[in-house]
Amino acid sequence: MKKRLKLSLWVVFIVLVGIQFVPVQRNEIEPVTNADFIEHYESPVVIGNIIRASCYDCHSNQTKYPWYSNVQPIGFLLQNHISEGKSELNLSEFGLLSNRMKRTKLKSILSQIDNDKMPMPSYLFLHSEAKLDSLKKTLLVNYFDSILVDIDK
């Protein structure tokens, strides 16, 4: 039994070391264009800063990877999370959406903020600066509501 445990631990160790050499396809940082949400709507600096801190790592082409993203399997999990986030909403390409899709995405964002679904608690655990306190929530909700009104005109 002891021999099996020792062998199992060696296998786990070798696998963990081995996966460090498997490359992860990272979210490439691209130049900011007019399609970027903040640029497209010429968002006020305060709003832009909140959105960058709370949304952009998972929902844009501007991901700032933390040091631990280089450690596998954490890097794989992190990249999977970012890919899923961008497939739902990519703020770097928001301006390219139809008005109907913009409206749908904004309503979803408002719902996520209202229900404390975003930023995700797992993200906030290591990124406390992304937390939306009541003031930040109010600012974002009012801002997104104003954009919805403009889209509906």
Which tens digit of pLDDT belongs to each residue from 3-34?
887 877 777 767 666 666 666 676 677 777 89
Asked, for residue 55, whether it belongs to a domain, the answer is: yes
Residue 72 located in a structural domain: yes
Q: How far apart are the first and last CA of the chain?
A: 73
With beta carbons less than 8 A apart as the criterion, state whether 53 and 129 touch: yes
pLDDT (0 to 100) of residue 35: 92
Could you list the residue range(s) of the whole structural domain that residue 58 is in? Answer: 28-152
The pTM for the full model equals 0.81
On whether residue 6 sits in a domain, the answer given is no
pLDDT tens per residue across span 58-96: 899 988 877 777 778 777 777 888 889 989 999 999 999
Query: 97 in a domain, yes or no?
Result: yes
Query: Does residue 1 sit within a domain?
Result: no
Domain count, the chain: 1
Distance CA 86, CA 92 (A): 9
Who wins on pLDDT, 23 or 50?
50
- Cβ contact 105:94 at 8 Å: yes
Q: Work out the percent of the chain whose per-residue pLDDT is above 70.
A: 89
